[in-house]
Structures are given as C-alpha cells and as structure tokens.
Structure 1
Amino acid sequence: MTPSTLLTGATGFVGGAILKRLCQQGYPVTAVSRTPLNTQDLPAKVVRVDALDGSTAWQDSLKGVEVVIHSAARVHVMHDTEADPLAAFRKVNVEGTLNLARQAAGAGVRRFIFISSIKVNGEGTRKGQAYRADDAPAPADPYGISKKEAEEGLMALARSTSLEVVIIRPVLVYGPGVKANFLAMMKWLDKGVPLPLGAIDNRRSLVALDNLVDLVLVCVTHPAAANQTFLVSDGEDLSTTSLLKRMAVALGKPARLLPVPSWLLELAARLLGKRALSQRLNGSLQVDIEKTRTLLGWEPPVAVDDALAQTARHFKENP
C-alpha cells in the first residue's frame, strides 16, 4: 500500500532523492518546492510555495494527503550574515514546520515525518560514547536549537491530535551530488593534494544518502515508528584518516596523507580561527542506531564502500 504523500524540500539534496524513490515505488506524490522543479520523468504533482514560514497556506496541497515528509529547512550556514541568526532559523524551521503540521493535523493527515538533525543532540562525542535517540538534547548553535524547538512542538501536537509524528536525526549525509566539505575533500584527493590528515584517530558516524532515504520510506508505513525519534547512520564509524583513504580508493587515486599529530592540527586551527573546522576533522561524533534497528527491524542496505563508490562515480561523471 502506497499512501498519498506530500514532500517538502523536493529540490534539495535529501528531498530530491526521497522524491525519486517515492515515485519509483509508486507513491502518489505532491512535491513542494520554492524553486522550479523538473518532474518530466517523475509522476509527481508539483506545488510551488514562495516561503516556508508561519503564514504559508497548505490547505489545498494537503487534500487527500495521508503522509507528510518535511525535509525543507533553513540549513546550517557556516558564515551567517543574518543580524539575528536564531530568529531566522526559527522563522523557517520552527514556525514554518509547526504551521504545516497544524494544518496537516486539521486536514486529517495520518503521519508527519520530520527530517531533523543530529545537532539536536550536540556538536560531538567522546570517542566510543555515542549519542542515543533518547538522550537529553544539547544543541549548541541556532540551527540545532531551532530543530530541537520544532521537534518539541511536533511532539506536543502529536499528544493533542491524532497526527503521528516521526523524527529522524541524520548525521552528515553523503552521496552522489554531495556538496560542501565532502565535495572539497573529494577535490583535494582527486588532485593529489598532500593533506596533513594521516594520523587522526577520531570516530565519526556518517550516513549514505540511499540509507537515509531507505529509512524515511520505512517510516512512512511502519506502525512502530509513530511518535518516535530515530538516529540514522551507516552503522560503521570511521576516523577522518580512514574516510580519506577509502574515498581515495573509490576515486582510484593515491591518498597523500601526512601523519601530522592531531594536537598540532588543533593548535594551528585555533591560531587561524578555524576551531569549527578542527572539530569536524579531529573531533568525534558517533551515534547509536540500536533503537532504529530494534524498533523498526531496519539495517542500512548500502555498505560504506559501495556508497563511496557511487559518490565518486557521480563526481567523476559530473566535474
């Protein structure tokens, strides 16, 4: 059975992949986007919205919809130019999300799946001490705070209405078409640039795009997913050094990694004002997906090396 589904963020990295999978599996889909969306090869109805905030009207789009997958968001910004970043994040991620969810509940939508973020849990862990889905939230930046507040509002709505809420907190998502730091890493490796990252003994959880999409679709219909929060990863944690080596293999390139001690990298990052970058390269961030596995009977269907190979192939074919 394929319930009628409304998907927001349909032109995004994650949303676009969800849209493609929904259409492939025969779901009646209404795809929502603020930018033009080409669905020539996809049997989806397209709805354009000018903004995603507390004033957006959804009544017409929600007619006959059974499940909402909300992947649209104001995403984490490295160098935010907003005078009040938290207010900007709240406008979209809190007010926009809860406005959609309230109208969905009023329209008789059965389930609301919210793509949140591991930043609700926090910015990092000690090696070997993974975040769990039911840990107390500890967001440290405006983006994480806004996602936490949206989660709290959704769960309150679930308690007062018949709407079922499912919250998914992904770690760093990679896959064909990935951008930002992961793309930069591939460019460095492809060009053979020597990198001082050959002696980092951290652990980080990642999630392949196909694995995240697979979990989202499981949550569309699984009865045990109702009113639960799930963490998602590939189930294999990697050090930065190991990730670079395995990505180099996927690219068919040598990994030119210099064994510079982590403490020296951290010192250099502090002196250069790059502490956030140092945390991502040297720090650990691990998640425990045992709840996801146990409650949903879910296992990541794509292995890390296969996902890296897919990512590398797309990178090579789309320079």
Structure 2
Amino acid sequence: MNRVIITGASGFVGQNLTVYLRKRNNEVNTLSLRHPDWINQQLDGTAIIHLAGKAHDTSNTSDSEVYFKINRDLTIDLFKIFIKSNVRDFFYFSSVKAVADSVEGVLDEQIVGNPQTPYGKSKLEAEKYLLKQVLPVGKRLFIIRPCMIHGPGNKGNLNLLYKVVEKGIPWPLAAFHNDRSFLSIDNLSFLLETMINNKEINSGVYNFADDKALSTNELVTLIANTLGKKEKLWNIPASLIKFLVKIGDFLPLPLNSERLKKLTESYVVSNANIKTILGIEKLPLTVEEGLEKTITSFRKIK
C-alpha cells in the first residue's frame, strides 16, 4: 500500500485526489504548510505530492513577492525536508504557465521557459532549484506541468462559460478560432497514481493534459448539448470585442483582457511523453467525457 502525503489538500485538486487515492486503497495524509510547526514534522511515506501554492490572479492585484515566497521558497523548504526523510518520491505541481504564457504550435517538455507573470516566474524558479539538486539513491523528483484542470467542484473560466450558455446568452466570441488543452481531475489522478506505482520511471519534467484539444466554440457546443440546448454562436468581429473588453480592465465587468485571452487563445499541450513513459495509448477519459462530467456537476450545484 502506498502512503502519500499531500500539501494543499484542501484545494480543488487536493480534495479530489485524496478521494481518488483512498478509494484505491492508498493511505493519504495531509500536510498543512500554514501550520507554524510544519517544518519540524518527520515525513515518512511513499510520495509527497506538493500541491500547495499561490494560483494565478487574473485580476492582477496580488503582491508579486507573495508568489515567490509561496511557490518558490516554501517548495524549497519542503524539498529540503524530503531529502532528509524516508519518502521516496517528490511530486512538485508546477504549471505549463511556468514556461509559456502563450503557445505557438504544441507545447512539450523541451521548451525553454520564458514566463511573463510573477506566477509563472515563481513556478519556474522553483523548478530550476529542484532540477539542480542531487538526489540521494532511491529518491525521485517529478515536476508536473498540468494545463487547465477541471472537474466537479471546479470554479473559474469554465464555470463562467457554463453560466453564459446555461442562461441562453449567445456566445459572442465565435470569431476567435483557437484550440485549447484541458485536463480532467480523473485523468490527473490516474496519471499520478500510475507514476507512484511504477518504480521504473525516471525523475523528470512531465506535461499533464487530456489526449485532445478543443476549440472554445466546440466547448460552447458541448456545454449546450450537455444541457439539452442548441448552441448559440455569434461571430462579432474580433477587433470590436478587443476594444470593448478594455473597459473591463478598469471597471468590475465580467470580461477583461486577461479573461478574454484565457477564453480565446490557443494553448495546446502535448501529453505524449508521459503516455510513452507509462506505456499507455490513451487516458481513461476523453476530453469530451471529462468535460461532460464537470458540466453535469455544475447543474447539480445550481
């Protein structure tokens, strides 16, 4: 039986991962990095999954230094304890945003990081520190770069898009043509447990994403169909939309430039490397199945 320690267990990913692992007879313990005495705890187990961190603030109001204190410095402190412990594996949850705020083509693990935000920079600095360390024999380090994670209980832009479609409001951004990668919480949990169980995998950096990308227009259609509705796609000129959302950068409106970018940009992430390493052809859920599960959960909590 695996004994797994999770930081950030109270968050969306942590809660779902804890349930997933326990259902499969893994022992899961949580470690709160907010507790003043956490640094003195003795860690023992199969793996540490470090989820705790400061997420990207789309309102851009957070102090930049806070990102580095939480995403970089806390990670370094935890890793030093891991090195001295009996724990075998260290999973650091970074992000695809640690290497690229925007993507041309398909993002793989070979890209040279060039993040532009404090969030991305803090994640990349943590990665660089970890990758420079010499691991004792028998220990492994995995840096996980997930794309946009979703699932039951998820909030954010996906939930915002759901509300637009659910209310019958036409999607006004159909003129923006893109492809985006998603990651269902079930596929994420499957990959993590499979990596823990496979003792032959080498330390390294691994992208996590579903097997296929979808356009936002396809996502709107999927949401509408899941709700039993007909999709409503409006092809308003992109130039006009870009002008109008600038107002949202100064006023508390539902759409601003940052959110528009997230909803309409192309961001395709390759999961080929981790699937090759694990010897799997496809993940348990297709991108459509995962999204339908998330969308259905929105209906239940309405």
Fold shared per TM-score above 0.5 = yes
Q: Measure, in 2, the Cα distance between the counterparts of 1:276 and 1:4.
A: 40
Matches of 2:136 and 2:270 in 1, distance apart? 30
1:282 lines up with 2:264 in the alignment: yes
Q: What SS does the aligned partner of 1:103 have?
A: helix
Partner letter of residue 223 of structure 2? M
1:73 aligns with 2:73: no
Amino acid of the residue matched to residue 295 of structure 1? I
1:210-221 alignment runs, 5 A limit: 210-221=186-197
Written as runs of structure 1 = structure 2, the 5 A alignment for 1:46-125 is 49-50=34-35, 56-60=38-42, 62=43, 64-82=44-62, 84-85=63-64, 87-125=65-103
Q: Which residue is 1:32 aligned to?
A: 31
Please point out which of 118, 136, 142 is paired with 1:161.
Answer: 136
Query: In structure 2, how many angstroms separate the alpha carbons of the residues matched to 1:270 and 1:125?
Result: 23
- Correspondence for 1:198: 174
SS at match of 1:225: coil
User: Would you say the 8 A contact 2:56–2:119 is kept in 1?
Assistant: yes
Task: Supply the AA of the counterpart residue of 2:126.
Answer: A
Structure-2-length-normalised TM-score: 0.91
Query: 1:167 offset after TM fit, Å?
Result: 1.0
Gaps of at least 5 residues in structure 2 are 250-255
Mapped partners of 1:249, 1:242: distance in 2: 10
Aligned equivalents of 1:194, 1:16: Cα separation in 2? 34
Deviations 1:88-121 (A, max 9, x none): 0111111111111110110121110111111012
Q: Give runs of aligned pairs for residues 3-14 of structure 1, distance below 5 A.
A: 3-14=2-13
* 1:4/1:67 contact within 8 Å kept: yes
Aligned-partner SS, 2:283: coil
CA displacement, residues 203-239 of structure 1 (integer Å, 9 cap, x when unaligned): 1111111111111112213234332111111111111
* Residues 81 and 267 of structure 1: CA distance in aligned 2, closer, same or farther (over 3 Å): closer
1:148-193 CA distance string (max 9 Å, x none): 1111122222x24343100111111111111011111111111111
What is aligned with 2:252? none
The amino acid across from 2:265 in the alignment is: G
For residues 73 and 190 of structure 1, the distance between their equivalents in structure 2, rounded to whole angstroms, comes to 32
| CA RMSD in angstroms, aligned pairs only | 1.9
Q: Secondary structure at the match of 1:229?
A: strand
* Cα deviations by residue, 1:5-52 (Å, 9 ceiling, x for unpaired): 111111111111110111111112112347xxxxxxxxxxxxxx426x
> How far, CA to CA, are the matches of 2:279 and 2:245 in structure 1?
42
Please say if residues 59 and 107 of structure 1, whose CA atoms lie closer than 8 Å, have aligned partners that are also in contact: no
Take 2:233 and 2:193, find their aligned partners in 1: how far apart are those partners? 38
By how many angstroms is 1:272 displaced? 4.8
Deviations along 1:40-94, one digit per CA (max 9) or x if unpaired, are xxxxxxxxx426xxx841433x1x3221011111111122444x41x20111111
Secondary structure of the corresponding residue to residue 39 of structure 2: coil
Conserved? CA contact 1:207–1:234, under 8 Å: yes
Structure 1 CA distance, aligned partners of 2:279 and 2:116?
A: 32
Matched, 1:309 2:292: yes
d(CA) in 2 for partners of 1:208, 1:15: 13
Moved over 6 A (4+): none
CA distance in 2, matches of 1:249, 1:224: 42
Q: Does 1:17 align with 2:16?
A: yes
SS for the counterpart of 1:6 is strand
Cα deviations across residues 118-157 of structure 1 (Å, max 9, x unaligned)?
101211123xx11111211111101111111111122222
